[in-house]
Structure 1
Amino acid sequence: MNRAASATSNVPLLRVALILVLGTFMATLDATIVSVGIDTLAGDFDATVTEIQWVSTAYLLAIVAVVPASGWLADRFGGRRVWLLAIALFLLGSLLCALAWSLPSLVVFRVVQGLGGGLLPPTGQALLARIAGPDRTGRLLSIVAVVPLLSPVLGPLLGGSILSIADWPWLFYVNLPIGLLTIVLARRYVPVVPAAGQRARFDLRGAMLLTPGLAVLVFGLTEISHGRAGIPVLLVGLAMLVAFVVHGVRTKHSPLIDPRLFVRQPFGSVAIALFLLGASVFGAMFLLPLYFQTGPGLSALQAGMLLAPQGVGAALGSVLVHRAIDRVAARTLVCTGIILVVVGTVVFTQLVHDPPVALVALSLLVRGVGAAMISAPVMNVVYSRIDPELLPRAAGALNLLNTVGGSVGTAALAALLQARLAARDSAVAAAFADTFWWVVGFGLLAVLAGLRLPARARTSTAN
């Protein structure tokens, strides 16, 4: 097949990828858009900071709770159907959130929204990998993987813009036209992929241990980060997860997520890399806008604009990965990306010296390029080598690790920041600088995991 014919045949596949990306983009963008409106919501509902935090925490807990079941749902009902239902559930939650009349009602509706949003990334990735096949998965994942990196940058910018001209319900109404357009396009262009031939029964015992265990673990970490006694809650969550691992190894049936996957290579190294990526990249994205608003005293819109170079870097990194992912070894791409993230973070360990804005912008650009070089290659290592019928469960496991890594990293960094603020007698720049050293540490640990990835590129048979 010549190059022109090959490009023409890939147009429908690229269209499918962009449609699936649109759904994931909507869900990931929403979390950061709403974070900008927390102060506004607290004022309108006459709520304390502790109470209003549940608007974000409830959404996060719902995502963590539903991701483990995404693989079974796709196996049982088909990836396209589950993905469309996830979009519809997310839109329903968005509409209900916009109509919320009290803080408790808003928190409940955020759970509904999170259940839909949590299903979108794993089911979308698995569906795309099934449609594309192993030879074209890498290039398409390089497009999909940049979405979570752009969302924390664009979210504050869009949220700040909305609140400057409209009331807070529009933070949720904005999802409706995007979601409806996505459903129309998906029904027309995304092909139906048959559900797995084997219909394993739902792992009820595993679900009763893993899903609540993860939710309790994240809740415990959140409580610790807020300065309350979350350690007993944290220990309960850990105990439930240990019980799930024992159950997953011993059960004769198909577990919700097979713990034995994580001791196999390259899956084990991929899982560790994604966990640490979530902790380092998304943990830092919690710290950066917070520092810009509490340190220099920027508005949410100004902070979003200052973060824009990271989004530009992520886009540039995505283009680079798109061209290199089938020709350059995953180990090379991932380790290079992690090192760039670490290099781009070092300047924030020197905040007490008030680094110039140009240096901050350049560092964010470097961080963005590096972050875009990590996720797509590690996912491609798994998706291009695994049996097609196992894709939904593998996608669920990988997204779970990335989500939990981001949650754990964010909560841990919040707790560390609070401790450093107390130790530094509320010297904001020094406390943030101390905390960013931990982000550098997470990155260096991720390099060790990256070194265990395949050292050779997968040979493609596609023309």
Structure 2
Amino acid sequence: MTAVAPTTPRTGPEPMAVALVVVLNSLMVVLDTTIVHIAIGTLAQEFHAPLTTIQWVTTGYVLGLVTIIPITAWAVGRFGTRRLYLTAIAFFVIGSALCGLAWDVWSLVAFRVLQGLGGGMLMPVGMTIVMRAAGSGANGRLMSTLGIPPLIGPLLGPILGGFLVDGASWRWIFLINVPVGLCGWLLAARTLPADPARSRRRLDVLGLLLLSPGLASLIYGLTGGGAAFTVAGAVLGAVFVVRALTGEEPLIQLRLFFRRRLAAAAGTLTLVPAAYFGSMTILPLYYQVVRGESAAMTGMLGIPQVLAVGLTMQVATRLVDRVPPGRVVALGTVVAPAGVLLFLFQVSADVPYWRLMAAMAVMGVGIGMTLMPSMAAGTRGLSHDEAPAASTGLMIIQQVAVATGTAVLAARLNHEVLGRIPGVRDLDQAFALPASAAPLLADAFRSTYLWVAVIMAAALLPALFLPRSRPSGGDLVERS
């Protein structure tokens, strides 16, 4: 008869209670990220700023994410998950309060960076906390709770943001985080278990000092800041790459990306997010500037697209366990640009909304088939030690692509508008144009979305290099 080891009684908090606290705080972050898209037009009018400047409200937040994500694993080992998680909530709440009190566009951008530092830590540290709380007895129901924020946040965020902007003030899209975040902080302080610091691994400070300033300089140069900024950003980026390839403990393990499937995933997760999230920033402007819709109505018009992304992502993420991920992703990189083409061939000053929403839903299906399956395909077969570094690298690449795509498409739309309507210098002036200018404005959006379609279609090339057959038992761990 086999002896059974005695069961150690659980002394910590219930795993589901821990998961629910993490979900509450994660939902706050996801809602805030999607709320801001609806308010871009309002912010342009409030601060009398061109689109190339206003887009930094989004890009600044992403820069905060890019800065903090690669040091999160080091910080967890250095300070412990509970202490780091409470610090992240505090950063996010303080950043939100300061955003709501911003006095000009650049103060808002600076405070959005602070928000991004907190938001960038909350998601990965929260996942680590839940996995540790679950222990070896982790079950699907518990882990599936972590999928709630990304599923419902993009759906509720634009609607909530629209009503806040129309019914109160743009400041409330940030100030609403303060009471929610304080409740989240108190619940986390009471519920989350304490854990000791576990590691004294060195932080690649030089790599950190090269990454974010280089990215900021490059984006600023590409959006009209001048060739000097573009060159400076490119040089800093090149030095960062050399550092990452030659250093003993680099900020990002770029050497892993010499492997074909990981490089293919990185290429796909550069092009698709750049086009998709960049288009998410300018689409609300079409409804508000060309069609004269309110922020609340704009949020509701985006529901079919968000639903299509969320539902398809749930199906596709499960599908890649049975179907080669390369086939799913390749199909997604065809469907997504097809939806964009349907949109731009129809977009005008008076096209029925249902036709545009149907086209965006088609794009959403393609996006849902692409993002998470690409991540899964890239990290599948890696060793236990390599997978976290690869996932972090892919996450950073995706966020860099989002920042760059948002900035470039915003600059493109601004250029298209200024080229068609003489006398208009800033986006806020477009809101005051007569109805006769609507066809010209719609044409500017049509030309900009052609860029979206081309960038998305280009992702088919790296997607074709993802695995197109199911791995055999001996290939579960990829060899370099």
1:417 alignment counterpart: 413
| Comparing 34-43 and 298-307, the one that deviates more | 34-43
Write the mapping of 1:7-156 to structure 2, written as runs, cut at 5 A: 20-38=22-40, 48-49=49-50, 55-79=57-81, 81-100=83-102, 105-124=107-126, 151=153, 154-156=156-158
Report the Cα offset of residue 257 of structure 1: 0.9
Counterpart of 2:219 in structure 1 is: 218
Deviations 1:295-321 (A, max 9, x none): 222222221111111122123213323
State which of 253, 277, 282 in structure 1 corresponds to 2:277: 282
Name the SS for the 1:455 alignment partner: coil
Match of 2:299 in 1: 304
Once residues 372 and 49 of structure 2 are traced to their aligned partners in structure 1, the CA distance between those partners, rounded to angstroms, is 40
1:291 aligns with 2:292: no
Question: Which structure would you say has the larger Rg?
Answer: 2
TM-score normalised by the chain length of structure 2: 0.78
Distance 1:99 1:167 in 2: 12
- Residues 58-457 of structure 1: pairs in structure 2 closer than 5 A: 58-79=60-81, 81-100=83-102, 105-124=107-126, 151=153, 154-183=156-185, 199-221=200-222, 224=223, 228-251=224-247, 253-351=248-346, 355-383=351-379, 385-390=381-386, 392-424=388-420, 427-457=440-470
Identify unmatched segments of 5+ residues in structure 1.
Answer: 1-11
Output the amino acid matched with 2:241: V
Does structure 2 conserve the Cα–Cα contact (< 8 Å) formed by 1:206 and 1:248? yes
Q: Within 2, Cα distance between the matches of 1:74 and 1:327?
A: 34
**Aligned-partner Cα distance in 2 for 1:56–1:229:** 17
- 8 Å Cα contact 1:73/1:82 also seen in 2: yes
Over aligned residues, Cα RMSD in angstroms? 3.7
Q: CA offsets per residue over residues 234-273 of structure 1, 9 Å max, x none?
A: 221111010111122222x201112212212322122111
**C-alpha distance in 2, partners of 1:143/1:374?**
22
Structure 1: how far apart are the matches of 2:70 and 2:331?
30
Q: Distance in 1 between matches of 2:444 and 2:45?
A: 28
Residue 109 of structure 1 and its aligned partner are, at CA, apart by 2.8
Mean CA deviation greater in 128-137 or 24-33:
128-137
User: Per the alignment, do residues 415 and 102 of structure 1 end up closer, same or farther by CA in structure 2, a change over 3 Å counting?
Assistant: closer
Query: 2:159–2:300: 8 Å Cα contact kept in structure 1?
Result: yes
Summarize deviations over 1:94-126 as a string: whole Å, max 9, x none.
Answer: 123334466665444333212112333444556
**Unaligned stretches of 5+ in structure 2?**
1-13, 423-439, 474-480
Distance, in Å, in 1 between the alignment partners of 2:33 and 2:387 is 26
The letter for the 1-side match of 2:115 is: Q
Assess if the C-alpha contact under 8 Å between 2:266 and 2:394 holds in 1.
Answer: yes
What is the one-letter code of the residue matched to 1:337? G
282-291 or 184-193, which deviates more: 184-193
Aligned CA distance change for structure 1 residues 342 and 100 (closer, same or farther; 3 Å)? closer
- Which amino acid letter does the alignment assign opposite residue 319 of structure 1? Q
Preserved CA contact (<8 Å) 1:138 1:325? no
Which has the larger displacement, 241-250 or 424-433?
A: 424-433
